[in-house]
Structure 1
Amino acid sequence: MSSDFDFDHELLTELVETPGVPGYEDLIRALVRDELGPHVDQLRSDSMGNLVGTIEGATPGYEVVVAAHVDEIGFMIKHVDDEGFLELDALGGWDPRVLRAQRVTVHTDDEPLPGIIGAVPPHTLTEEQKESIPEVKDVRIDVGLDAETVEERVSVGDLVTMDGRLGRVGDCLTAKSLDNRVSVLAMIEAARRLDDPDVTVHLAATTQEEVGLRGASALGVDLDPDLVLAIDTTVANDVPGFDPGEQVTQLGDGAAIKLKDSSVITNHKLHRRIREVAEDRDIEYQLEVLPAGGTDTGGLQRAGGARPAGAISVPTRYLHTPTESVHHGDVAATIDLLVATLETEDGTHDYTL
């Protein structure tokens, strides 16, 4: 299945299927630590859970941070009712319309429990119920156990992730948490491929992005880099119902070079240089103007002072759903463009405006 991929498909599978909601990224951080460790000169984490692998540059004095957040959207149990059903508090931005009739995993202290978010048969609903707008607070998880057993095994504060394993659909890969594990893969691949860079490169697996860019904002102060580059997914509304101007990006057209989103207007000298690198290396790319949504780029750009910031994005259909989808060629292009950008950064480019 993976022989025609230009990247480590097996690792992407493991990254996607390892749980890690905001603030509780322990398992995914451990996996990234194991993968980064052999390819960096130094590896450390902080009290927010950010993990940073540093590759020392040939010429000291100029530092670049590459950030890819490891957290995925999920839930925290806020109440177990008398019948044994679980009430949720969202960790990240969920559209409640996609939650009905989904499989989930409840992560308890003892072992993971499979669960479902049920959907009442439509022919039993009143007209008022059919027309109501769903909200996350109305969602309940059914773990198929009696109330007494649920009370013994599930606690307030336990975490929930969607059940969305990595699969292939045509030229695309689909799963939950491709946002942002596909970018974490790109960062790990960059660590494997970078050979004696001119500048010091900090490869940062950041935390709590999905709840407000919190890990990156703190990390930008602690590291105080000269240049920041975030890797994340972006919207690809190249599906029926959207006009061309609403699509943002298209699957199969290459890596996306970010111009703006709700959190950042990228440094135009930097995004032009990234574009030149793509053209010099014959890497397919497209330009991204995202009208809503933020990334670690914004958190890093102004944390502790002004600094040049840019981003490379993986076009993704159906973001923040259990069926997020990316094109394998766009993933490969994102990795190639990230590596090429870092290889050609020598600390002499003037990004001041």
Structure 2
Amino acid sequence: MAVEPDFEYDLLKRLSETCGVPGYEDRVREVVREELTPHVDEIRTDAMGNVISTLEGDSDYSVVVAAHMDEIGFMVTHVDDDGFLAVDPLGGFDPRVLKAQRVTVHTQSGDLSGVIGSPPPHTLDEEERERTPKTEDVRIDLGLDAEDVEERVSPGDLVTMDQGTEIVGEHVTGKAIDNRVSVFTLIEAARRSESPAVTVHFAATVQEEVGLRGAHALGVDLDPDLAIALDTTVANDVPGFEKREYVTELGEGAAIKLKDSSVITSPKVHRRLTEVAEERGISHQFEVLPAGGTDTAGFQTSAGAKPVGAISIPTRYLHTVTESAHVEDIEATIGLLSAFLGSETGEFDYRL
């Protein structure tokens, strides 16, 4: 039987099911603005599409909390003579999981349903069956004749995976848990923040999946004193992996990032995150991610040296349509971020 989360699951579901690939986060941005506006003093969108919502504090010290809005997807590159679509990836798909998936093609005249087909195995020879799939081999079938497809679809149209969000046991699973669960966490923390001692910028960023581009620009524009990024992280606690390969485990709490391939978080920041978690009895674990980067790095390479930290939500099956996060880890992450922001006075010295 599925659990009943202590947070607003309907909003998380709405965020996860809303479509928004890198550079085209419009629909998600609309939801974020709608949800944040009542809880902040100012909200704006920059030239790249980052949403910056500001809660003014009693000091000039400022903290940025960043979570990216974009999800991995595709852009149409060509319509062939038979009406099948060729695409270019926007973000890092594992091509092994793409066959036999439903998709939505977003065109100027509206959304179209489609499928990424897969030939029946008994029609393939041994070489074809053993061939390693490649993303560039993806073709999308809209179930329409070629002339109709030509009229309705153009190069540059966008494609997202078509998958709903569900509670499966104690897990929330869906196609864009990465990183809408962190956007949800950001919104929940903003709702809980009252009269902060420091100014807090809650930033929903763009184009993370194609190179942390929104965060890089935001780091220059805001020039914060401290930056905290939110993202999902690998949980390989499933059959086929040794325990040392897990990175994180579902149900063990919020993951305090120590490093990934793009950043080494500031020791004084992750130590204080740990202190807050221990003082408040918030379940937590540590994340050492051998590959993959997050918005955290965007604030460590822009506008000079900045202390940075990150909180991650352990997630199984990342970059697939069944990404899964534990409800208790989501609750722990919301609690840790809220407690950390509530205790920030601007007087902590994070310099080394």
- What is the TM-score when the length of structure 1 is the normalising length? 0.99
Amino acid at match of 2:153: V
- Residue 208 of structure 1, CA deviation: 0.1
Residues 114 and 143 of structure 1 are in contact (CA less than 8 Å); yes or no, is this contact kept in structure 2?
yes
Where 2:47 maps in the other structure, the secondary structure is coil
Alignment of 1:191-230 (within 5 A): 191-230=190-229
Residue 303 of structure 1 aligns with which residue? Answer: 302
Amino acid at match of 1:49: G
Distance 1:226 1:171 in 2: 37
Distance 1:263 1:6 in 2: 33
- Residue 2 of structure 1, CA deviation: 8.8
Q: Deviations over 1:258-280 (max 9, x none)?
A: 00000100000110000000000
Amino acid at match of 1:200: T
- 1:246 paired to 2:245: yes
Residue 5 of structure 1 aligns with which residue? Answer: 5
Distance 1:92 1:300 in 2: 21
- Residue 172 of structure 1, CA deviation: 0.5
Residues 48 and 214 of structure 2 are in contact (CA less than 8 Å); yes or no, is this contact kept in structure 1?
yes
Distance 2:10 2:156 in 1: 31
Distance 1:349 1:6 in 2: 32
Distance 1:163 1:225 in 2: 37
Distance 1:72 1:2 in 2: 26
- 1:159 paired to 2:158: yes
Where 1:234 maps in the other structure, the secondary structure is strand
Residue 258 of structure 2 aligns with which residue? Answer: 259
Distance 1:329 1:256 in 2: 12
Distance 1:271 1:105 in 2: 40
Residue 290 of structure 1 aligns with which residue? Answer: 289
Where 1:331 maps in the other structure, the secondary structure is helix
Residue 29 of structure 1 aligns with which residue? Answer: 29
Residues 86 and 140 of structure 1 are in contact (CA less than 8 Å); yes or no, is this contact kept in structure 2?
yes
Distance 1:3 1:84 in 2: 44
Residue 274 of structure 1 aligns with which residue? Answer: 273
Residues 2 and 9 of structure 1 are in contact (CA less than 8 Å); yes or no, is this contact kept in structure 2?
no
Distance 1:228 1:149 in 2: 49
Residue 18 of structure 1 aligns with which residue? Answer: 18
Amino acid at match of 2:26: D
Residue 81 of structure 1 aligns with which residue? Answer: 80
- Residue 4 of structure 1, CA deviation: 2.4
Distance 2:41 2:3 in 1: 31
Where 1:241 maps in the other structure, the secondary structure is coil
Where 1:297 maps in the other structure, the secondary structure is helix
Where 1:155 maps in the other structure, the secondary structure is coil
Residues 52 and 205 of structure 1 are in contact (CA less than 8 Å); yes or no, is this contact kept in structure 2?
yes
Distance 1:238 1:56 in 2: 41
Amino acid at match of 2:28: I
Residues 2 and 167 of structure 2 are in contact (CA less than 8 Å); yes or no, is this contact kept in structure 1?
no
Residues 166 and 174 of structure 1 are in contact (CA less than 8 Å); yes or no, is this contact kept in structure 2?
yes
- Residue 130 of structure 1, CA deviation: 1.1
Residue 132 of structure 1 aligns with which residue? Answer: 131
Distance 2:239 2:351 in 1: 41
Where 1:299 maps in the other structure, the secondary structure is helix
Residues 258 and 288 of structure 1 are in contact (CA less than 8 Å); yes or no, is this contact kept in structure 2?
yes
Amino acid at match of 1:5: P
Q: Deviations over 1:306-349 (max 9, x none)?
A: 10000000000000000000000000000000000100110011
Distance 2:68 2:195 in 1: 25
Distance 1:150 1:211 in 2: 28
Distance 1:45 1:177 in 2: 22
Where 1:10 maps in the other structure, the secondary structure is helix
Amino acid at match of 1:227: L
Distance 1:129 1:14 in 2: 39
Residues 278 and 285 of structure 1 are in contact (CA less than 8 Å); yes or no, is this contact kept in structure 2?
yes
Flag as ranges the 4+ runs of structure 1 deviating above 2 A. Answer: 1-4
Distance 1:28 1:172 in 2: 22
Residues 25 and 70 of structure 1 are in contact (CA less than 8 Å); yes or no, is this contact kept in structure 2?
yes
Residue 38 of structure 2 aligns with which residue? Answer: 38
Residues 235 and 248 of structure 1 are in contact (CA less than 8 Å); yes or no, is this contact kept in structure 2?
yes
Residues 19 and 27 of structure 1 are in contact (CA less than 8 Å); yes or no, is this contact kept in structure 2?
yes
Where 2:204 maps in the other structure, the secondary structure is strand
Q: Deviations over 1:113-169 (max 9, x none)?
A: 010001100111011111211111111000000000000111110000001110111
Residues 3 and 167 of structure 2 are in contact (CA less than 8 Å); yes or no, is this contact kept in structure 1?
no
Where 2:109 maps in the other structure, the secondary structure is coil
- 1:99 paired to 2:102: no
Amino acid at match of 2:320: T
Q: Deviations over 1:169-213 (max 9, x none)?
A: 111110001000000000000110001110000000000000000
Amino acid at match of 2:17: E
Where 2:202 maps in the other structure, the secondary structure is strand
Distance 2:239 2:299 in 1: 35
Distance 2:299 2:122 in 1: 50
Residues 105 and 112 of structure 2 are in contact (CA less than 8 Å); yes or no, is this contact kept in structure 1?
yes
- Residues 281 and 6 of structure 1: CA distance in aligned 2, closer, same or farther (over 3 Å): same
